[in-house]
Amino acid sequence: MTTESVDLVLVNPGSRTRIYQALGATLTAVENPVWAGLIATFARRRGFSVQIIDAEADELSPEDTAERALSLNPRLIAVVVYGHQPSASTQNMTGASAIVTALKQRNSSARVLMLGGHVAALPSRTLADESCDFVTRDEGLYGVTTLVEALGAGSDPDLSKIPGLVYRQNGGVVANPPAPLVTDLEHDMPGIAWDLMPMGRYRAHNWHCFGDLQRQPYAALYTTLGCPYHCSFCCIQAPFKGGEGVLGLKQEVNSYRFWSPTRVVEEIDLLVTKYGVRNIKFADEMFVLNQRHVLGICDLLIERGYDLNIWAYARVDTVKDGMLDKLKSAGFSWLALGIEAADEGVLTDANKRYDVGAVYDTVRKIKAAGINIIGNYIFGLPEDTAETMRRTLELALDLNCEFANFYSAMAYPGSPLYEQAVRLGWRLPDKWSGYSQHAIDTLPLPTNHLPAADVLRFRDRSFNAYYSHEPYLNMVREKFGAKTVEHIRSMTAHQLTRLHAPA
């Protein structure tokens, strides 16, 4: 075993086959761990040595991951539980748990911490269920670095002074006050530690590259953190709420932090010139929102003249006049819209308020600008009925977006919907893998009118209906070519096994 020693090892857990079944082999994205890369930068700027182990990209078993981490003789191993999107944190607990267990089986004295969206939402439960020594109840940046410093100062560190840390003591659990949010992103966390990642192993989503299907190289990055909206099914703010309170924000106010357009485009400069990246995801929960921020980034990218293929999230009501032509010229090929449902009562109950009629207008404008759309839809929100779900599918077919995601409503820990489910005693998945939309043991919520099995069955049938719809396939053939149509047919040939809603 090597004698090399580092202060901090950050682990990105991998459980793609459990989460996506056969889809994980070739169809899903393999995404660089954005949060692990940001934490690495934050720690480095405080003088600590850091390594990242990406078990997902390198396809490491829990045992291999543990062996590689322990070989670095770190002061602290931090397992970072995030995913391709905020909701993916909980489903990644399956792989994270296996890695933590393997670490402790090999070296019981190794200091292991878990952090991430799921962990911040359920810190005490995570500490009780898992073999780790510590968890953080906030975004974890100050907690990780302060803990690394404390562990280097002696064999009996004073854990009470480490912000956001939750740990065992004298047979009980101690939860320290959270740390404030990092407010100076430019100074403290200016970018991702790309040099610590296996950049050649990342690949874009299949739909992101319709037309040529060249999915590598690929990179994902943030330009903002947080989201000002309060959709009941979203858990995006879970890691941030504690830090927001320390800064004096009211509970009902969500933080939204920015990197400057200059800093964002400097990051893209590095990706393009050093790593040859063309396919880029802006992982912000809501990128198309602040017009000055969006247009500032677009203007700088247009000046550079890169041939980029970017996608980002938007809302039906945040796409404003004057944005779309700039986005297209800057290299934005796709916008993801959270359309969710066709019934305004269902949307209002989920705290997502906009006129459903505005969906058609926004979609028309985006398509007219030459930008593709991935429409996101949710079946099984609390007020959904068989009729409202049918209308949502009809809306999706009518809009005929270039790609569509169909989700079943899940009560993700950290979301208002989770709090409601616990309060009302709704059945939740038995294992964290059951929160994955594509797993065998997926268990969505029932609605106030339908059992969970009906929701899941409708979701799976809707997926097949959309991707076998002749107007859709004709549109894809015209825009992207026959090879992309064949790719879609291959994609729909993968039939998901469902424990709770067998075909």
Give dist(CA 366, CA 109) in Å, integer. Answer: 55
Residue 449 burial class via C-beta count within 10 angstroms: exposed 0-12, middle 13-18, buried 19 and up: middle
pLDDT score recorded for residue 17: 54
The pLDDT assigned to 437 comes to: 86
Average pLDDT over residues 208-221: 93
Average pLDDT over residues 449-460: 95
For residue range 227-272, list pLDDT tens digits in order: 999 999 999 899 999 999 999 999 889 999 999 999 999 999 999 9
pLDDT > 90? residue 300:
yes
What pLDDT does residue 3 have? 52
Alpha helices in 56-92 (DSSP H): 62-70, 88-91
The first and second tokens of residue 148, run together, are 């690394």
Overall average pLDDT of the 286-305 stretch: 97
> What 3-state class would DSSP assign to 50?
strand
- Tens digits of per-residue pLDDT, 65-123? 999 999 999 999 999 999 777 667 898 999 999 999 999 999 999 999 999 999 999 99
Q: For the chain, list the domains and their CATH numbers.
A: 8-175 (3.40.50.2300), 203-223+259-409+444-492 (3.80.30.20)
Q: Taking the model in full, what pTM does it have?
A: 0.95
Sorted by sequence, the CB contacts under 8 Å of residue 282 that are 6+ apart come out as 220, 221, 222, 223, 310, 311, 312, 313
How confident is the prediction for the chain on average, in pLDDT? 93
pLDDT at residue 498, as a whole number = 84
Percent of the residues in the chain that have a pLDDT greater than 70, as a whole number: 96
Assign 3-class secondary structure to 101-152.
Answer: HHHHHHCCCCCEEEEEHHHHHCHHHHHHHCCCCEEECCCCHHHHHHHHHHHH
User: What does the pLDDT read at residue 203?
Assistant: 95
Q: State the pLDDT at residue 155.
A: 73
User: Is the pLDDT reported for residue 2 higher than 50?
Assistant: no
HSE toward the beta carbon, residue 214, CA cutoff 13 A: 8
Q: How confident is the model at residue 1 (pLDDT cuts 50, 70, 90)?
A: very low
Q: What is the pLDDT of residues 151-164, one digit of tens each?
A: 998 778 899 999 99
Q: What single letter denotes the amino acid at residue 326?
A: K
pLDDT digits (tens, 9 = 90+) for 275-295: 999 999 999 999 999 999 999
Mean pLDDT over 395-413 rounds to 96
pLDDT band with cut points at 50, 70 and 90 for residue 150: very high
Do 110 and 75 form a contact (C-beta atoms < 8 A)? no
Q: Are 360 and 399 in contact (CB under 8 A)?
A: yes
Asked if the model's pLDDT at residue 9 lies above 60, the reply is yes
Q: Which amino acid is at 90?
A: T
pLDDT for 24 beyond 50: no
